[in-house]
Amino acid sequence: MENLIAKHIVGQYELEEYSDILTIKTNKDSLLDVMNSLKNNKALDFAQLTDLCAVDYYTYGETEWGTKEATSTGYSRGIKPSSHGRIKFEDKTLPNKMENRFCVAYHLLSISNNNRIRVKVYLSDALPIIKSITSLWPAADWYEREAFDLFGILFEGHPDLRRLLSDYGFIGHPFRKDFPLIGNTQIRYDPNLKRIIQEPVSITPRVLVPKVIREDK
């Protein structure tokens, strides 16, 4: 497979391998050239798009509970506001724009050659925009809408880039790691106005604290 890719792929790319799946890492400017080669070159013939998903690497590898040895601080560290799980919507959590914060991953299948491949493109937080592949695989339509809705990634050239899962008036993108777990608004019926209203959330963000219960004998 590596030899075929080196012979037929047009555009800038790197080859990686994760979980026995060959992965092409490219940039947003070369994406359409790489994808066009993968689909339309008969030696490769990746005619089917099986999945498109996005990843947010903000706070990747961070944890409140990770420890390699006993600690004198106990579980108190679990109630200190040190993670994105406790932020509110108006909180500022990103002092600097992150390079390669987002990743868009495409999974392709060649039925004729019985091969699978993954294509990855990394995007910065400053402007997460990438070209749409709906011209090559129309099935990417709702995949890209989902990634836009949940992560805020813009797909240039998409024919109808609307939210897919959340309401039209929804604020923010809920799968981003800096999106508050409590949300930012709550919906309820107001008996005086006799209609549904939106208002700021009334709950306090909190991460559950594990407790050890011992019975005295």
pLDDT digits (tens, 9 = 90+) for 56-68: 998 887 766 665 6
pLDDT of residue 35 exceeding 80: yes
pTM: 0.81
- DSSP symbol at 36: H
- DSSP symbol at 163: -
End-to-end CA distance of the chain: 66
pLDDT of residue 197 exceeding 70: yes
Task: Write down the pLDDT at residue 181.
Answer: 78
Going by pLDDT thresholds of 50, 70 and 90, the confidence category of residue 17 is: confident
Task: Write down the pLDDT at residue 84.
Answer: 62
Q: What is the fold, at CATH topology level, of the domain defined by 2-58+72-200?
A: Beta Polymerase; domain 2 (3.30.460)
Average pLDDT of span 93-101: 71
Task: Write down the pLDDT at residue 80.
Answer: 54
Task: Write down the pLDDT at residue 138.
Answer: 97
Among 96-105, 108-117, 144-153, the least confident range? 96-105
pLDDT of residue 210 exceeding 70: no
Task: Please report where in the chains the tokens 């109808």 appear, as a residue.
Answer: 160
Going by pLDDT thresholds of 50, 70 and 90, the confidence category of residue 89 is: low
- For residue 95 the two structure tokens come to 């002092």
Average pLDDT over the chain reads 84
In angstroms, the CA 21 to CA 2 distance is 12
In angstroms, the CA 175 to CA 169 distance is 17
